[in-house]
Chains A and B, each alone.
Chain A
Amino acid sequence: MAREGRAGPRRRPVEPFLWLLFSGGGMAAAVLVPVLVLLFGVVFPLAGGPPYDHLRAVAAHPLTRVALLGLAVLAFFHWAHRFRFAVEHGLGLGRLDRLIAPLCYGAALAGSAAAAHVLFLTL
């Protein structure tokens, strides 16, 4: 039945965990991201942002760091999952799943590491 080039049963064990990360990221991003983009991407650049000391105090609070790391990890895996299927289905590259999937989730993993570095080692 299975056609050549298909990933076969290999895809089974990790797929549910990737889907849970994707779903968690979708929910976290839906609730948090629009307001953050609105404020930091549009309103503050046009109308002036909060004073430096206040922003630093908010950002450096342990709860903020944990929340932002959680958002970053989930949002990156959300992107990885959707981008993987958008490329595989949208460009007809499903046979390259063995290549595309590791690249996407690998990028999400690298992004998560970078987020942890920024939030817990530089701040």
Chain B
Amino acid sequence: MTAPDDTAARYRRPVPVLWWTGRRPYLLFMIREFSSVFVAWSVVYLLLLVRAVAAGPAAYRGFMELSASWWMLALNVAALALTLFHTITWFVVTPKAVAVRVLGVRLPAFMVAGPLYTAWIAVSAFVVWLLVR
């Protein structure tokens, strides 16, 4: 018996470029990361709206017509779905990522997530009240 070559003959399994397509948790992770594109799009859309509002009533009407076109609606329905996915995944991971300690004892996850969901509902209700009152 000869001693095996210690370095040359290792096998390294190559990582497929699209490694995240083959396994459900990885795919969900990638969708979570991709939701940031729709977060950015939503803010761009809001800024376009503000710019139209700044330009006067005619520009605002024009923007509302554009926003009612089927493709813009489809885009924003997708944005709504993915930003909701962002919110929920964000609130699921935050209690694990932040250890809140009170008197030396770490709070259970629901006591961190609870205030987050409460704040989400409160802020959403405030925005609705502000705009449609």
Contacts and interface: CB of A to CB of B under 8 A. Distances in A.
Contact between A and B in the complex (any CB pair below 8 Å) = yes
B120 A123 contact: no
B84 A92 contact: no
Interface in A28-60: 29-42, 44-46, 49-50, 52, 54-56, 58-59
A51 B130 CA distance: 13
B84 A52 contact: no
Given A37-B79, A55-B53, A75-B40, A31 B123 contact: yes
Contacts of B30: 86, 90
Contact of B64 (A25, A49, A54): A49
B80 A42 contact: yes
A29 B43 CA distance: 9
Given A42-B73, A79-B40, A118-B54, A34 B84 contact: yes
A33 B77 contact: no
Interface string B15-51: 1011010000000001001101101101111110111
B60 A55 contact: yes
Interface residues of A, number: 50
Contacts of B128: 35, 39
Nearest to A41: B76
A37 B60 contact: no
B72 A45 contact: yes
A118 B47 contact: yes
A57 to B, nearest CB: 10
Contact of A34 (B18, B34, B36, B124): B124
A40 B48 CA distance: 11
Interface in B75-133: 75-77, 79-80, 83-84, 86-87, 90-91, 94, 116, 119-120, 123-124, 127-128, 130-132
Interface of A: 25-27, 29-42, 44-46, 49-50, 52, 54-56, 58-59, 68, 71-72, 75-76, 78-79, 81-83, 85-86, 90-92, 111, 114-115, 118-119, 122-123
